[in-house]
Amino acid sequence: MTDPIARESERREDSILKVASALHEDWRKTRKKEDGSFEPRMKTTKDNVWIIRKGTDQVDIANTNFEDLPADWQKENHEAAIVVVDILNKYENLDLTKEETYNAVGDEIHKAWLTRNSWAAGGELDVPFVDLPQNEKDKDINQIIIAQKEAELE
C-alpha cells in the first residue's frame, strides 16, 4: 500500500508539471507562425547536464517543448505553476467573476511573480495587482485559468 502523503505529493507534482507545460505552451502560441512552426527565441542555458546531452549551451525555447527545456528555462513556469496549483488547492470553487476573488488571486500570483523577478523592483510592474494595467492583470489571471483547465482534464 502506498503512503497517502507520498501519493498526495506525487499528485501535486504531476499537477505542477502539467500546468508548467501548459504555461509554456500558452507563451509559445504567441510566437506561432502560419506554417505551424514558432518564431525562434534563442537563449543560453547553464544546465550542464542539458549542455552535455545536446552539445551546446544554446536553446530555442520557442521551438522546444517544456519537457525538453533545460532546467534553468523550465524554472519560471515551474515556479509559477506551484503558485497557481496551490491557489487551486486552497480555494474551493474558485470563482474569478467575483471581484474580491479575482483581486485576491491576482494579488497572490503577482506578489509571487515579483518575488521571483527582482529585476522588476521599483519598475512599472512593482505595484499592487489592482493598480496594474488590465493587460498585465490578464497575464496573471490567465495563469490560474490555465491551471483550472488542466485540473478539469485530470
Instruction: Identify which has the larger pLDDT, 72 or 3.
Output: 72
Are residues 72 and 109 in contact, defined by beta-carbon separation less than 8 angstroms? no
Q: Which three cell numbers stand for residue 89?
A: 488547492
Taking the C-alpha atoms of residue 132 and residue 134, their distance in angstroms, rounded to an integer, is 6
Query: Whole-model pTM above 0.85?
Result: yes
Query: Which pLDDT tens digit goes with each residue over 13-41?
Result: 999 999 999 999 999 999 999 999 999 99
- CA 67 vs CA 10, 25, 72: distances in Å: 17, 11, 12
